[in-house]
Amino acid sequence: MASDTEGSPDTADQQVEDLGPDLGLDLEQQAALGSGASFWRTEELPGVPALVLTDGPHGVRFQSGASDHLGLSASDPATCFPPAAGLAQSWDPALARRIGSALAAEAVAAGVGVLLGPGINIKRDPRAGRNFEYFSEDPHLTGVMAGQVVAGLQSGGVGASLKHFAANNSEHDRMRASSDVDPRPLREIYLRAFERVVRDARPWTVMTAYNKLNGVYASENRWLLTELLRDEWGFDGAVISDWGAVVDRVASVRAGLDLQMPGPAGLDDADVVRAVEGGELDRAHALRAATAVARLAVRARNGPQAVQSGAAHRAAPVDHAAHHDLAREAAESSIVLLANDGGLLPLSPATGVAVIGAFAREPRFQGGGSSHVTPTRVDVPLTEIRRIAGDARVTHATGVGGGDDDENLLLAEAVAIASDAEVAVLMLGLTDDQESEGVDRQHIDLPGDQLRLLEAVAAVQDRIVVILSAGSVVDLSPVVPHATAIVSGALLGQGGGRALARVLYGHATPSGRLAETVPLRIEDAPSWDNFPAVDSHVRYGEGIFVGYRGYDHRRREVRFPFGHGLSYTSFDYRSLTVVAGDNGWTARVEIHNTGSYRGREVVQIYSSLPASVRSRAPRELVGFGHIELDPGQSGQLDVVVERRDLAYWDEPAGSWLVEGGEYVFAAAASSRDIRIEVSVPIDGDPRPVRIDLDSTISEAMADPDARLILDEVFRPLAANAGEASGAVGASIEQLVGSIPVGRMLSGFLGMDRESVAGIAEQLARIHR
């Protein structure tokens, strides 16, 4: 594996600089560096090694044989860790970093220099087909978890590729559709996690999305790739395209794209050369792209590329057994206990159990498409349940089937074993073809044959545990009336079978939390009216009210809220103090384990500003942490809340601002399970908004300097209104507050043009 020094950005920069001002390459060679030499590999040129990229993000999908980006051809075995939909439910950044490090070790062993992931797009709508590959509906949780995956991966000498940049929130018409998003939700919801990861973890690459953003293809969007990503956020890596995302190579290079994939792309290379020679493209753009790719290749050259040249492989052997144990640990931490009426779980090993469902023998543990990993091994739930309880106490029936299977016979078999058992465990969920890259779901219903199975079993058994396997939410309305306990595994990776069995029997206490809201019905989703694209446009009409923010804003009841998760033990939140620090606040929560099991409690910190003059969600996640306690044990957990996490995007100012006021910080077990609240006064940022004649009276009066000017103008009006001070009082301001200053002066006060121009000049001087 490359050492930290050999693979460091500073060393790579120096080695690339040593190549000379033009990298020692002519224009044709520079253009060639900007496209792939093959499906997964970049060009090798004098002084610049080739680089192998391959799909992730939850496993190394390396194809030593036939190559594709759709998961059609076989890939070499690799550890399949929980996909983002599962891992996010752990709410454990340290665990995410360890997985990133393990991915790096396997990538190096495969000769891979860049792993394409993590995917961090927001789960805007429950029907989005690629939700299984994304973390959450919340940008804070997404950014923190993804940042640690990137840090772990790159500490191992393998580059991350943060994707899909940006506003890639559905699969329908994904190669053409425009995501039409207003500036504030774009910044606060859809770009916020990208900004956090870029600033904090410095990913080596960012991958552009297929879609357009506000009418411009992401790969051709100069504002997105250059003005925002590089100039504002300070990104210093390479911008690469998603495979097949480039429509116009010249326009993309001009906008800020460095590497077009896949290759070979000789015709597009020639377009770049002709554009430079014809004056259509500045040569500096072509050199920038080539330099970024060269730096990336040099950064990852030590070890990962040895495979390509046939050199002796210097990478340390991968401990696949240890990685499988890590996959099991991650799966266990990611299991969410949604419901447990009467304390049915955990089960006793002596309990007679009927395990029903095809997923018991053929588990669903990852998504379909480009992220589909060939696992090194798979823990089978039925096998692991029998390992704990013994074969004699566990029966199994498929219950449902396909093709020529007789559904009535399968149902009858399931009903028979359920009626003879003490508890029925039903494994329900979605199959690979029911949620996959490339297609959105039409609904969030569970398959009809599974619901018929549930009803049939419920007719003979009233102690039912439902285990769900799906990469996004499903409608649980038909499930809740029949299920005594409900367990959400999301997608748990190759170690999920053992993890589920351990949780079922109390060998592990469930501690995962939902990373997205489960609605009562899909029509309640904030994005319902604006999903999917119509005529290649999708309007993000819900604005900032995405996920739990939207359900709370619209006061919708939900099936299970964001952050929800039960335990076999119980926790008492005894105190909350919030102390200001250099760049934020520390929320200190005292927790006491009041139950009889050792358990981990995930503590969520939400903020709200009840007296805000801005449109805001009722509360927003601004921090989280976890603490593990024995029965009867107390402990303190410190959660840092950074000032940037309280900021909103101010469109007129074009900047992030913290609004001043009395904030409420809440320590919570979910977005709707608030345990303790405290109020904290916070000074706001100055709002650098230019006051002119188009500003309203209220806007102008909010600026102290502008108020002095206008107080003089309005003094006669104030005197006539009986204001004792002679200045504009609250009653007058309320009456005329929405009137633009210019129209107030000319239309209502009758000022001539010269006098109005004089006032305009005084206002302009405020901001000089």
Beta pairing class for 485-488 and 464-469: parallel
Torsion angles phi and psi, residue 473, rounded to 5: -70, 155
Written as one letter, the residue type at 683 is D
531-554 CB burial, b ≥16 within 10 A, e <16: bbbeeebbbbbbbbbbbbbbbbbe
Same fold? 9-64+92-309, 321-512: no
pLDDT at residue 303, rounded to an integer: 42
Could you give the CA distance from residue 742 to residue 641 in angstroms, rounded to a whole number?
A: 42
Which tokens belong to 84?
A: 């983002």
Long-range contacts of 671-676, Cβ-Cβ distance < 8 Å, separation of 24 or more: 671/517, 671/548, 671/552, 671/561, 671/562, 671/563, 671/604, 671/606, 671/619, 671/621, 672/552, 672/558, 672/561, 672/564, 673/561, 673/563, 673/564, 674/606, 675/573, 676/573, 676/575, 676/576, 676/589
User: Does residue 308 have a pLDDT over 70?
Assistant: no
Summarize pLDDT for 134-150 with one digit per residue, the tens.
Answer: 999 999 999 999 999 99
Summarize pLDDT for 412-468 with one digit per residue, the tens.
Answer: 999 999 999 999 999 999 998 888 899 999 999 999 999 999 999 999 999 999 999
Longest dimension (CA), the chain: 97
| Architecture of the structural domain at 571-682 | Sandwich (2.60)
CA geometry: angle 358, 362, 366, nearest 5 deg: 115
CATH H-level superfamily of 321-512: Glycoside hydrolase family 3 C-terminal domain (3.40.50.1700)
Instruction: Choose between 368 and 718: higher pLDDT.
Output: 368
| 9-64+92-309: in CATH 3.30.70.100 | no
Domain parsing of the chain, residue ranges: 9-64+92-309, 321-512, 571-682, 697-766
Instruction: Choose between 12 and 680: higher pLDDT.
Output: 680
- Which residues carry out catalysis? 242
Summarize pLDDT for 203-228 with one digit per residue, the tens.
Answer: 999 999 999 999 999 999 999 999 99
pLDDT at residue 9, rounded to an integer: 63
Could you give the CA distance from residue 80 to residue 572 in angstroms, rounded to a whole number?
A: 36
Which tokens belong to 741?
A: 């200053």
- Please name which of 589, 569, 590, 464 lies closest in space to residue 511, comparing C-alpha atoms: 569
- Please name which of 343, 410, 413, 357 lies closest in space to residue 385, comparing C-alpha atoms: 357
Summarize pLDDT for 319-375 with one digit per residue, the tens.
Answer: 999 999 999 999 999 999 999 999 999 999 999 999 999 999 999 999 888 889 999
pLDDT at residue 402, rounded to an integer: 65
